[in-house]
Amino acid sequence: MDSMWKALKSLWSVWQVTYEQARAQAQGGSEAQRLKLAQSTRTHQEILYYLAESDPSAIVRVAVAQNKQTPLQAGAILAKDRDVDVRLALAGRLVKLLPHISQDKQSQLYAYVVQAMGTLALDEVLKVRKALSSALKDHAHTPPKIAGQLARDIEREVAEPILRFCAALPDADMLDILSQHPATWAVEAVAARAQVSPDLSQAVMDTGQGRAGQILLENKGAHIGADLLRHIIERAKEYPEWHTPLAVRKNLPPEMLKMLADFVDEKVQAILLGRGDMDEETRADISNAVRRRMDFENHHHDPLEKVKILMSQGRLNEDALSDALAMRDDAFMTAAIAVMAGTNIDTIKKVFGLRAAKPVCAVCYRAGLSMRLALKIQQEMAGVQSRDLLYPKGGVDYPLTEDEINWQLEFLGIKK
């Protein structure tokens, strides 16, 4: 028993001497001695912490940052080190630690890692932030807080990889970023993510960026609800680059297929007609729309003369106006509504110039047009603001009473 006790005391004495020697070397030894301490995993954590905090050599501090024995508490010091190579070395070690430390996100050690990474994510040197972003963009254990910081970086090289690839980036952060009038590349990065939630899809389209919309529509991982899809098709006249991805999109309802056929070019119309998931009634409706469009385009007459020709043929109807609206033939639309409402072109121009919903609805009612078409005319011909639009009552009827319509017509000088 005595011999065992003596042996333990001897080992303790050796350890004490070793610790005392190491501390002396850390405080006053040569750079080579200090570097050896910094690199060794047998060096006491207290000494490694001292070297991280006090050593004058960047080479030594880099070794400390890379040493897996260095206490994570030292990360807060190393993350603010004056030498960029030290900070880069720390970033590399912290990223390697994430798979192990992330198993207990409530631990103090995890908090130390996130704190140090947060400092590095705001580093004044682009090289550091870029390296951290590159390492974390595909990392399964990226802390959401750090992903959010990097995604908001002003430099594209830092933010774009996180916005495009990082699965840990919360939707809330991306929605906030997209609401702040972001750069085009930021919206496109979100649109191209492997998975895009319905809320994010809505936010991408709300930015009004054409290329981002195209990327989203081509993205098989983007979840686009029926309401948003309808809205996209209604806006697609302004964005020709959306036409093909919409035409090839699976499971488009017949109504949306018909909406597309009203304004896309011949190439996209051919794609629509070539779809294998279309019932015969829808195919016939689209074929008729295509023929009407071709016929309409072949008449190169004065707008009023074209109106009179169609009227004489019994073809001045809602289909003809829908085709003209789809092709943005404003002159024909103005002339046709004037004739159908029993007034003159100048009066209809005046109505559209008011940019008000009620006068437009009144003349459309007088022209015998449906309220659904009247809504499109409010939007596309009169430029009525979204908040001021009048919508079909019950999805079909005019929302104005007969007295309200008559008052509007009298005010405009349109007689019964």
| Residue 30: alpha-carbon gap to chain centroid | 55
Give ∠ CA 389-392-395 in degrees, rounded to 5.
Answer: 140
CB-based contacts of 78, cutoff 8 Å, min separation 6: 52, 61, 64, 65, 86, 87, 89, 90, 116
CB-based contacts of 54, cutoff 8 Å, min separation 6: none
User: What DSSP letter does each residue of 271-333 carry, written as one string?
Assistant: HHHT-SS--HHHHHHHHHHHHHHHHHHT--S-HHHHHHHHHHTT--SHHHHHHHHHTT-HHHH
Nearest to 153 by CA among 182, 175, 179: 182
Q: How many helices (H) and strands (E) does the chain have?
A: 26, 0
State the Cα–Cα distance between residues 284 and 269, nearest whole angstrom: 13
Q: Which two tokens stand for residue 29?
A: 């030894």
Domain ranges for the chain, please list them.
299-416
State the Cα–Cα distance between residues 202 and 213, nearest whole angstrom: 10
Q: Which two tokens stand for residue 2?
A: 């005595």
Q: Tell me the backbone φ, ψ of residue 53, rounded to 5 degrees.
A: -85, -30
Contact between residue 63 and residue 88 where contact means Cβ atoms under 8 Å apart: no
State the Cα–Cα distance between residues 278 and 138, nearest whole angstrom: 40
Torsion on CA atoms 116, 121, 122, 126, rounded to nearest 10: 130
Q: CB-side exposure of 415: number of CA atoms within 13 Å?
A: 0
Q: Which two tokens stand for residue 220?
A: 């098989």
The residue to which tokens 């939707």 are assigned: 171
Contact between residue 146 and residue 117 where contact means Cβ atoms under 8 Å apart: yes
**Tens of pLDDT, residue by residue, the chain (416 residues):** 566 555 444 444 444 448 888 899 999 999 999 999 999 999 999 999 999 999 999 999 999 999 999 999 999 999 999 999 999 999 999 999 999 888 787 889 999 999 999 999 999 999 999 999 999 999 999 999 999 999 999 999 999 999 999 999 999 999 999 998 779 999 999 999 999 999 999 999 999 899 999 999 999 999 999 999 999 998 888 888 999 999 999 888 888 888 888 788 888 888 888 888 888 888 887 777 766 666 555 555 688 888 888 888 888 898 888 878 877 788 999 999 999 999 999 999 999 999 999 999 999 999 999 999 999 999 889 999 888 999 998 888 999 999 999 999 999 998 76
pTM for this prediction = 0.70
CB-based contacts of 410, cutoff 8 Å, min separation 6: none
Q: Is 52 exposed, middle or buried (0-12, 13-18, 19+ CB in 10 A)?
A: buried
Return the pLDDT at 263. Answer: 81
For residue 393, the cross-strand partners are 397
